Structure 1
Amino acid sequence: MSCDPEVPRSGPCTLPLWSLREEVTVETYADGKLVLRCDDTAEAVRCADPVLYEVLRRMTLGPVLLSNVDASLAHPATRDPATPPTWAPPVWSALRRLSHLVVRSLGTDDEKGPLLSVFTPSRDTAFDPVRLPEAAPLRLSPFTTVRSRTGALVLESILTPFRVVLHRPEAAWSARVLTRPINPATVVTLPLAPAAAPDILAYLAAAGMTDKG
Structure 2
Amino acid sequence: MILHDYWRSGAAYRTRIALNLKGVAYDQRSVDLRTGAQRSETFVTLNPQGMVPALEVDGAILTQSPAILEWLEETHPEPALLPGDPVARAHVRAMAALVGCDIHPLNNLRVGKALCEGFGADQAAVDAWAARWIVPGFAALEALVARHGEGWSFGATPTLADCYLIPQLYSARRFNVPLDAYPRLLAVERTAQTHPAFAAAGPDLQPDAD
TM-score (norm 2): 0.27
Structure (1/2) with the larger strand percentage: 1
Q: Greater share of helix residues, 1 or 2?
A: 2
The normalised TM-score by structure 1 is: 0.27
- Greater relative contact order, per chain length (Cα 8 Å cut-off, separation 6+): 2
